[in-house]
């Protein structure tokens, strides 16, 4: 049966049948439960590629295949995907018309024998590449659960103020199978575990829908006679003023997005997020996602609804609005399309979504999805998209095993996940993902990330803060969250790197391959003991966009304002040591008025982080700085002891920058002890010491008055630009 909402998108494609994925089936009379038929993609093989060599079988076209299957009483035809011609001058051949149909495996074998010129492939389900629950020790579940043994646990999930949290996911794990439910309007949920006792429960995980950190408790002491109270912590307790104040996520800082000039915004590039849709009710997505396609229910605007929350989260990482509130994406002026294939997305849906991307001249596609099975038809479609200049950035997968498909393909950029230990509070489910070894900066490869030689790069994928429907925010884990970081950076490179306005401007495979080469070459290696978990390392936005940065001409400003900003930057970077402060000034302080001044930051190579060889080892008045960049932390966040955490000092791969900023502030990371350097808000003038400029070791700068400030400021600026590769080496300078 075809409904009015299942109209074909053009004359060459068949209507999609009504699907239980898109609408709730009405309650009917009971019937016996039987195995579901399997879904297949059927296509005619090219004449030069017969299934049985030497077999005298006539060639079949798409229409003939469709009629043949429609006339078969043991086959239920669902829809037909139109064929496409190969790209002019491309190596990839055209793509055949595909019929999607349901039938039994036995009937498929009979058809293969009868029609050797037909190709059959399972139309398998795809999975999200996020982490639904924290890993646990793999125990074989008992084959037989003892009858009559069960435990019922009631949970009450509310915040510290007593407000119940409806819709929170509650997962209970024991010796046998786990049980999962969600809280009702009163914040309560009940779970019955067959074959378990309170002492056999190994863990409880609670993940609120939005606004709160998750909670994970190992070996919980649960009661079967009263409510078990769980009180998650608000995100705003970690990110001061959030979401009223816009913040950069820790991953964006790690990739140096917050150090880019605000003029690099990705305008002119088209990005597609193939996922569960993008909810346009959210302020960070409302004016950012412009178009899309709904391959779940066929609704004209169905792509703008996201019941799974997954696609909205990914879309905001890529291109969340730069409006001073909530989060901000990488490419805030790129044109974003949402291709909705979840829930229930299959290989055939992915093929159809990629057809849309080619037709719409999409530049970058984010694929936060995976399968444990290879699909030759999907592989052929991805290669055809590559030949058309469409770059696919793919999540590696989250079951902790080998890389999933399509991340195994050579023509995509496959992204693994990394985490940072000070990016989330203790007791959260993110903490359960920590796996050794760990770098001195706290970077680690999480347990869930898939690994293998196919990994190209790694990116932040633990406790990634982004938007979820209808207007909230959540911190999620997964290579699904890592891939959008790289897709967003890819959009910036395409928009602003000069190579894509010159020798690589044509939409072809060379363009895609060069884009991936630039991203891999920009990476800062992470020493986590296994290159198959990190690939080339974490991409660095400053490296990837170095040619674009070299061409930026600063706007004319008043000399005094520039001097004041440079002095504040030098002090924040540890290049000047404040001596005394003027009347009414309390020095740089962490938020809440706590003192924030600490030891100079970023002055030594970071443990576990390789030097940024693309820039060479820069030298500053304080000595060598990894990558030649003065690492400077974001504005400080006071701890209970009145100190700014060491995590806020910046590092080789992250930290806020000395250049112009986009709106918002870097998100503080208050979970790592130790001193750190704060920064005057927005680099404002007037916070400098009144006793004259000094170098980092306290030696006064020679000269008098304004000239001394200018001398120190200009020398520092030259070193920063030289270290970043924007100026040539100074033959009179110190040896590198």
Domain topology for 264-549: Rossmann fold (3.40.50)
Task: Tell me if residue 352 falls in helix, strand or coil.
Answer: helix
Lowest mean pLDDT among 176-190, 209-223, 546-560, 610-624: 610-624
What average pLDDT score do residues 438-461 get?
97
| Secondary structure, 3-state, 288-332 | CEEEEEECCCCCCCHHHCCCCCHHHHHHHHHHCCCCCCCECCCCC
Q: How far apart are the first and last CA of the chain?
A: 73
Confidence of residue 628 (pLDDT cuts 50, 70, 90): very low
**What CA–CA distance (Å, rounded) separates 412 from 364?**
11
Nearest to 275 by CA among 172, 353, 379: 353
Find out whether 302 and 340 touch, Cβ atoms under 8 Å.
Answer: yes
Q: Please compute, for residue 370, the number of CA atoms within 13 A of its CA located in the half-sphere on the CB side.
A: 27
Find out whether 463 and 647 touch, Cβ atoms under 8 Å.
Answer: no
275 is catalytic: yes
Report pLDDT digits (tens) over 200-252.
999 999 999 999 999 999 999 999 999 999 999 999 999 999 999 999 999 99
What average pLDDT score do residues 519-525 get?
97
Write out the two tokens for 451: 């690994």
**Chain mean position to CA 712:** 40
Residue 609 has pLDDT above 70, yes or no: no
What average pLDDT score do residues 404-413 get?
98
Write out the two tokens for 510: 């060379």
Q: Does domain 150-233 match CATH 3.30.70.100?
A: no
Of 123, 240, 275, 349, the catalytic one is: 275
What average pLDDT score do residues 393-422 get?
97
Nearest to 551 by CA among 719, 682, 721, 322: 721
**What CA–CA distance (Å, rounded) separates 218 from 432?**
9
**What CA–CA distance (Å, rounded) separates 599 from 633?**
11
pLDDT greater at residue 53 or residue 239: 239
Share of the chain above pLDDT 90, in %: 62
Please provide the average confidence, as pLDDT, over all residues in the chain.
79
Report pLDDT digits (tens) over 332-363.
999 999 999 999 999 999 999 999 999 999 99
Bridge partners of residue 643, in order along the sequence: none
What average pLDDT score do residues 12-33 get?
62
Confidence of residue 176 (pLDDT cuts 50, 70, 90): confident
What average pLDDT score do residues 587-604 get?
33
480 is catalytic: yes
Residue 534 has pLDDT above 70, yes or no: yes
Lowest mean pLDDT among 70-84, 517-531, 645-659: 645-659
Of 214, 319, 480, 656, the catalytic one is: 480
Confidence of residue 605 (pLDDT cuts 50, 70, 90): very low
Beta strands in 161-221 (DSSP E): 169-173, 179-182, 188-194, 203-207, 215-218
303 vs 242, 308, 637, CA distance in Å? 28, 12, 39
pLDDT at position 235: 97
**What CA–CA distance (Å, rounded) separates 673 from 641?**
9
**What CA–CA distance (Å, rounded) separates 583 from 705?**
19
Residue 729 has pLDDT above 70, yes or no: no
Helices (H), ranges, 115-158: none
What average pLDDT score do residues 622-631 get?
28
Query: Crossing angle for the helix pair 310-319 and 479-496, nearest 10 degrees?
Result: 30
Confidence of residue 331 (pLDDT cuts 50, 70, 90): very high
Find out whether 235 and 159 touch, Cβ atoms under 8 Å.
Answer: no
Residue 715 has pLDDT above 60, yes or no: yes
Instruction: Kindly write down the DSSP assignment for every residue of 426-474, as one continuous string.
Output: TTSGGGGG--S-B-TT-EE--TT--BSTT--EEEE-SSEEEEETTTEEE
pLDDT at position 579: 52
Write out the two tokens for 698: 């306290």
Residue 624 has pLDDT above 70, yes or no: no
Confidence of residue 560 (pLDDT cuts 50, 70, 90): low
**What CA–CA distance (Å, rounded) separates 630 from 618?**
9
Residue 721 has pLDDT above 50, yes or no: yes
Of 216, 282, 310, 497, the catalytic one is: 310
Lowest mean pLDDT among 321-330, 423-432, 699-708: 699-708
What average pLDDT score do residues 498-502 get?
95
Report pLDDT digits (tens) over 280-316.
999 999 999 999 999 999 999 999 999 999 999 999 9
Residue ranges per structural domain of the chain: 38-123, 150-233, 264-549, 557-603+621-736
pLDDT at position 214: 97
pLDDT greater at residue 249 or residue 14: 249
Q: How many CB atoms lie within 10 A of CB 290?
A: 12
What average pLDDT score do residues 543-550 get?
93
Nearest to 275 by CA among 466, 452, 519: 466
Share of the chain above pLDDT 70, in %: 67
Residue 636 has pLDDT above 70, yes or no: no
What average pLDDT score do residues 436-456 get?
96
Name the phi and psi angles at 204, rounded to 5: -130, 130
Domain topology for 38-123: Alpha-Beta Plaits (3.30.70)
**What CA–CA distance (Å, rounded) separates 209 from 469?**
9
Ranges 321-325, 573-577, 723-727, most confident: 321-325
pLDDT at position 247: 94
Task: Tell me if residue 588 falls in helix, strand or coil.
Answer: coil
């Amino acid at each position: 049966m075809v409904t009015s909402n299942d109209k074909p998108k053009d004359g060459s494609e068949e209507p999609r049948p009504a699907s239980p994925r898109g609408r709730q089936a009405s309650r009917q009379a009971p019937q016996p439960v039987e195995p579901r038929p399997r879904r297949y993609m059927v296509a005619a093989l090219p004449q030069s590629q017969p299934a049985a060599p030497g077999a005298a079988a006539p060639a079949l076209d798409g229409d003939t295949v469709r009629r043949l299957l429609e006339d078969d009483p043991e086959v239920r035809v669902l829809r037909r995907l139109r064929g496409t011609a190969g790209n002019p001058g491309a190596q990839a051949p055209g793509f055949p018309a595909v019929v999607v149909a349901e039938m039994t495996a036995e009937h498929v074998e009979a058809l293969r024998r009868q029609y050797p010129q037909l190709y059959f492939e399972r139309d398998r389900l795809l999975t999200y590449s996020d982490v639904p629950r924290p890993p646990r020790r793999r125990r074989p579940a008992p084959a037989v659960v003892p009858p009559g043994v069960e435990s019922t646990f009631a949970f009450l999930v509310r915040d510290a103020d007593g407000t119940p949290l409806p819709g929170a996911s509650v997962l209970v794990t024991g010796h046998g199978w786990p049980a999962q439910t969600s809280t009702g309007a009163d914040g309560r949920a009940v779970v019955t575990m067959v074959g378990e006792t309170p002492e056999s429960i190994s863990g409880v995980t609670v993940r609120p829908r939005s606004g709160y950190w998750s909670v994970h408790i190992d070996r919980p002491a649960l009661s079967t006679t009263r409510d078990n109270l769980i009180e998650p912590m608000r995100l705003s307790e970690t990110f001061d003023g959030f979401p009223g104040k816009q913040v950069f996520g820790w991953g964006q800082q790690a990739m140096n997005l917050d150090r880019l000039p605000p003029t690099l915004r990705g305008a002119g590039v088209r990005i597609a997020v193939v996922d569960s849709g993008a909810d346009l009710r959210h302020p960070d997505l409302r004016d950012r996602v412009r178009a899309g396609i709904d391959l779940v229910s066929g609704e004209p605007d169905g792509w703008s609804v996201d019941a799974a929350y997954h696609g909205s989260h990914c879309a905001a990482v890529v291109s969340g609005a730069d409006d001073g509130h909530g989060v901000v994406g990488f490419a805030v002026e790129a044109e974003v399309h949402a291709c909705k294939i979840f829930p229930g997305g299959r290989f055939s849906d992915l093929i159809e979504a990629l057809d849309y991307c080619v037709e719409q001249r999409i530049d970058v596609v984010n694929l936060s999805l995976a399968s444990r099975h290879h699909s030759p038809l999907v592989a052929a479609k991805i290669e055809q998209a590559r030949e058309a200049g469409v770059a696919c950035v793919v999540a590696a997968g989250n079951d902790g095993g080998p890389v999933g498909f399509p991340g195994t393909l050579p023509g995509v950029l496959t992204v693994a996940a990394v985490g940072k230990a000070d990016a989330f509070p203790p007791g959260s489910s993110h903490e359960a993902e920590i796996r050794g070894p760990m770098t001195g900066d706290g970077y680690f490869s999480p347990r869930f990330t898939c690994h293998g030689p196919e990994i190209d790069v790694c990116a932040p994928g633990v406790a990634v803060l982004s938007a979820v429907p209808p207007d909230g925010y959540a911190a999620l884990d997964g290579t699904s969250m890592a891939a959008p970081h790289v897709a967003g950076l890819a959009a910036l490179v395409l928009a602003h790197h000069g190579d894509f306005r010159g020798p690589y401007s044509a939409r072809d495979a060379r363009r895609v391959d060069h884009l991936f080469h630039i991203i891999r070459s920009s990476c800062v290696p992470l020493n986590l003991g296994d290159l198959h978990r990190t690939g080339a390392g974490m991409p660095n936005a400053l490296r990837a966009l170095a040619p674009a940065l070299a061409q930026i001409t600063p706007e004319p400003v008043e000399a005094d304002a520039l001097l004041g900003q440079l002095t504040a930057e030098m002090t924040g970077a540890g290049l000047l040591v404040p001596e005394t402060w003027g009347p009414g000034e309390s020095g740089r302080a962490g938020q809440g008025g706590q003192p924030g001044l600490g030891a100079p930051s970023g002055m030594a190579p970071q443990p576990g982080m390789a030097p940024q060889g693309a820039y060479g080892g820069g030298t500053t008045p304080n000595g060598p700085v990894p990558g030649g960049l003065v690492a400077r932390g974001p504005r400080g966040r006071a701890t209970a002891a009145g100190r700014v955490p060491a995590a806020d000092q910046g590092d080789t791969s992250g930290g806020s920058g000395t250049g112009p900023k986009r709106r918002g502030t870097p998100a503080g990371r208050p979970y790592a002890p130790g001193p750190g350097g704060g920064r005057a808000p927005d680099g404002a003038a007037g916070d400098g010491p009144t006793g004259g400029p000094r170098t980092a070791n306290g030696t006064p700068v020679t000269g008098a008055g304004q000239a001394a400030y200018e001398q120190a400021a200009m020398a520092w600026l030259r070193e920063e630009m030289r270290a970043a590769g924007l100026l040539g080496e100074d033959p009179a300078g110190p040896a590198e």
